[in-house]
Amino acid sequence: DQQVKQNSPSLSVQEGRISILNCDYTNSMFDYFLWYKKYPAEGPTFLISISSIKDKNEDGRFTVFLNKSAKHLSLHIVPSQPGDSAVYFCAARYSGTYKYIFGTGTRLKVLA
């Protein structure tokens, strides 16, 4: 049973426009959410995170929004750049544990 879901396997966006990547979760016991970026044959790199007590966190071009009632989080990238083309994973941590669960990923392609 997939508790962290990324329902869009791929997304294409024009350079300079906004990229919105979505993630849904089913377990109310998650207390911390993260977004990672991954290139082929490399390890994921951390982008941004948000605690369950917040609804927004911003870092430069990246903003994460959390809607707890809908069990939904999103990553906004503005403006999108060709170097942002990668696979993006959302992840969630079970409250009070060290267990992190990842989604299936969304491949973002930013077109020049």
Partner 1 sequence: DGGITQSPKYLFRKEGQNVTLSCEQNLNHDAMYWYRQDPGQGLRLIYYSQIVNDFQKGDIAEGYSVSREKKESFPLTVTSAQKNPTAFYLCASKYQGPNTGELFFGEGSRLTVL
| Contacting positions for partner 1 (CB under 8 A) | 6, 9, 32, 34, 36, 41-46, 49, 51, 89, 91, 93, 98-105
Choice between 15 and 49, CB closer to partner 1: 49
Q: What is the dihedral of CA 71, 100, 95, 88, to 10 degrees?
A: -30
Shortest distance in whole angstroms from residue 100 CB to partner 1: 6
Choice between 65 and 100, CB closer to partner 1: 100
Shortest distance in whole angstroms from residue 34 CB to partner 1: 6
Choice between 46 and 78, CB closer to partner 1: 46
Dihedral sign (CA 1, 75, 108, 100): negative
